[in-house]
A and B are shown apart, each in its own frame.
Chain A
Amino acid sequence: GQSLEQPSEVTAVEGAIVQINCTYQTSGFYGLSWYQQHDGGAPTFLSYNALDGLEETGRFSSFLSRSDSYGYLLLQELQMKDSASYFCAVGEGGSYIPTFGRGTSLIVHP
């Protein structure tokens, strides 16, 4: 089976940098993904890490350390519109049936 841990809530101010951590346990790691979900909406894909290191996509970056079973999502130059829930998800084995973490609610203040 798989399990993931991430903080339930993070708050920050506009323009700041915030890091959302995710630790996981899985028997056959396939990849760590991050998704953003605004209230009432569907999740949208942000990033994917299969190998160790940092992946950068604009203001968002994602990091993975397979030896530590740990990853994080880094959001820079925070904007009010970044207020949303952020989910990490891991896939297991060749089927990649993803398991989602409980989600982190990010609240961005002016």
Chain B
Amino acid sequence: GAVVSQHPSRVICKSGTSVKIECRSLDFQATTMFWYRQFPKQSLMLMATSNEGSKATYEQGVEKDKFLINHASLTLSTLTVTSAHPEDSSFYICSAPTGDRREQYFGPGTRLTVT
């Protein structure tokens, strides 16, 4: 199956700093990628849809100026958490759909801790 990588797997940062998370499709091209946030014991909450070559589509309630998404190539999407605060601490996961969109290939996730 297709492989999606994410980097870093874990990051600890100080409040007020910015953190960039990379999501790469390793053996396929992904014109669309999804970014999710998951709090402990909760479901995956879609934050935004990343579209190659165009602006991301954000879900209601997600601050686009705080969670910057860039999809500059067919294999790379980045999520930058700007001016991070402790409440941004979460598990961030990206995914890319298959061509027929039946299945999502998920990255391994990034555990963000803001101190």
Contacts of A87 in B (CB 8 A): 43-44
Number of chain B interface residues as a range: 20 to 34
B106 CB–A CB distance under 8 Å: yes
Q: How far is the CA of A99 from the CA of B44 in the complex (A)?
A: 8
Contacts of A102 in B (CB 8 A): 42-43
Closest partner residue, chain A, to B94 (CB atom): A42
Contact B43 A103 (CB under 8 A): yes
- Size bracket, chain A contacts: 20 to 34
Chain A residues contacting B107 (CB-CB under 8 Å) are 42
Per the bound structure, the CA–CA distance linking A100 and B37 in Å amounts to 12
Across the interface, which residues of B come within 8 angstroms of A40, CB to CB? 111
Annotate B33-53 by CB proximity to A: 1 below 8 A, 0 otherwise.
010000001111010010000
Residue from the list A31, A43, A99, A103 in contact with B93, Cβ < 8 A: A43
Q: Does A71 contact B (CB under 8 A)?
A: no
Chain B residues in the interface with A (C-beta under 8 A): 1, 34, 41-44, 46, 49, 93, 95, 97, 101-109, 111
Chosen A-B contacts, 12 in total, with CB atoms closer than 8 Å, are: A31-B102, A33-B104, A35-B104, A40-B111, A42-B107, A43-B44, A44-B106, A48-B103, A87-B43, A98-B46, A99-B46, A100-B44
